[in-house]
Amino acid sequence: MISLTHLSPLPVTYILLLLASLRVVYSIWIRNSFHRRPPGPTPIPLLGNVHQLPMDYQERAMQQWGKRFDAVGNLIYARFFRRHTIMINSIEVAQDLLEKRGANYSDRPPFVLHTELMGWKSMLVHMRYGDNFRIARKWAHDAFSNKNALKSYIPLQHKETYTLLAGLVDSPQDMVAHFARFTAATITEITYGHAVTGNNDPYIHLADEAAGATVEAGSPASMLVDFIPILKYYPTWLPGAGWKLKAYAVRDLAKQMVDYPYNMVKSQMAAGVAQPSLVSKVIEQISAQKGSLTPEDEQLLKSTAGTLYGAGVETTQNVFTAFVLAMVRYPHVFQKAREEVDRVVGVDRLPDFGDRESLPYLECVIKETMRWHVPTPLGILGIPHYTMKDDVYNGWVIPARSLVITNIWAIANNPTDFTEPEEFRPERWEAMGKEKSERLDPRNYVFGFGRRLCPARDFADKNSFLVLANMIATLNIKRALDDHGREIVPEHSYKSGFVHSALSHIHPFKCDIKPRSAQAARLIAQLVASS
């Protein structure tokens, strides 16, 4: 072996000069790489840009950063404490990076609050990219995207749609609860084979409690511990530890939420009375292959099943609520959609999936509902993608381990693509050419991108069509009147802020929902009784 002690001084000098030169070149490369990052606000030491991000409506601030720092506004760089953060305001850039380069952009950041302290680490939406993610995603895809599976759910969708309509007739003031129950009932029956008979169902209550506690404890990247991980060791007995106590409370609820229905299915399988479901099917498959499930298999299956409920209920509820708000604010749209449904379907039956191609204006209404009020302004449940290695896009350097935030709200409110985006205008889709309409279809971005695309997208889309079509066919949705008999025009507003940034919950509003006729009320009652 050759050592430096056996070399003459001259070669040693050359080697040292070479190493020094390489260090200079590397330093220049690093410095140039920094300047080649996408444009964005100027950071300050320690904080980076976190002090420039407002507490409310971060999606709007990110859009403004795009307009201010980039002529195109599609790709922005910021640093929150020490975390590199890439913000995407364009559907084309999102597709280029998150879909075409999905192998590098499909990971999730190691957010301490949700994954370690709250115990959501194994949930599909939080799961790091790897073998477990691929397995869990396949289970979810087989249950919610397979064509044969989707076809088998049609009777369930009919039954729950009619139950929803009956609920809106009986207690329209509980509209949001009826919407939540609809999605909870369909997902729970598919996932666990459990039929929900009312809003007091124990699993629904437990899942809602866990979801509510999670939101109140903080959304991803909303707490300092996600940027300064050492804070996870902060003692709970010290002042200011309330955030950690809340996280521990969520962890207990999260465990109950995934354990309770899973153990229910196992008990029913042992007794031979289990209904077909995602959980029972996977248990049978793994048992046939291995003989039994390992603790790791069980945890992965529990968490995957729990994810489908948590991710599906509130987003779908948001879409239905936004539709009602739009119909109240824009009654001429409701009337036009009603005329189309009556012309195609008549009044002696209710709309079904076979009618969809004959209802083009309703299709525009569905698209506009999802665009006008995106359920998750900053991507699926507000959880960023995470780069696995350095990348270069259009000359810009995107560092490894960067948070990648897709600004869904900015995409849906791009004035270049949508004139007066704040207005609810289904006709804009009729005026677009086919290619542009397909490119800007909100269903191409509200469900996420690439390998993180929501596996229940097709199922959710079918639910939206069936529910909205049936509401139009059977109900009158009007503005409420104040004490002086004047119409109340509700605002289009929603909760925001670091805690509520994941989901854009519409603020409560008043409206008037009644059956359109006695015949419609009788038809709903008959269908509920027979389903």
CA 372 to CA 376: how far, in whole Å? Answer: 12
364 has binding-site annotation: no
Q: Cα–chain-centroid distance for residue 422?
A: 21
CA 461 to CA 362: how far, in whole Å? Answer: 13
Tell the burial category of 316 from Cβ atoms under 10 Å away from its Cβ (0-12, 13-18, 19+): buried
Amino acid at 152: S
Site of tokens 């207690």: 171
Q: Cα–chain-centroid distance for residue 167?
A: 26
Q: For residue 512, list its beta bridge partners.
A: 478
CA 327 to CA 369: how far, in whole Å? Answer: 10
Residues 6+ apart with CB under 8 A from 425: 368
SS3 category, 84: strand
CA 228 to CA 83: how far, in whole Å? Answer: 10
CA 254 to CA 243: how far, in whole Å? Answer: 16
**Structure token pair of residue 276:** 């077909």
CA 521 to CA 299: how far, in whole Å? Answer: 45
CA 531 to CA 521: how far, in whole Å? Answer: 16
Q: How many CA atoms are closer than 13 Å to the CA of 321, on its beta-carbon side?
A: 31
SS3 category, 512: strand
Site of tokens 């020094």: 20
**450: region left, alpha or beta (phi > 0 left; psi from -120 to 50 alpha):** left
Output the 3-class SS for 296-339.
HHHHHHHHHHHHHHHHHHHHHHHHHHHHHHHHHHCHHHHHHHHH
Are 447 and 455 in contact by the 8 Å Cβ rule? The answer is: no
CA 347 to CA 59: how far, in whole Å? Answer: 43
Q: Report the b/e string of 229-260 with b at 16+ CB within 10 A.
A: eebeeeeeeeeeeebbebbebbbebbeebbeb
Binding residues for heme: 454
- Write out the binding residues: 454
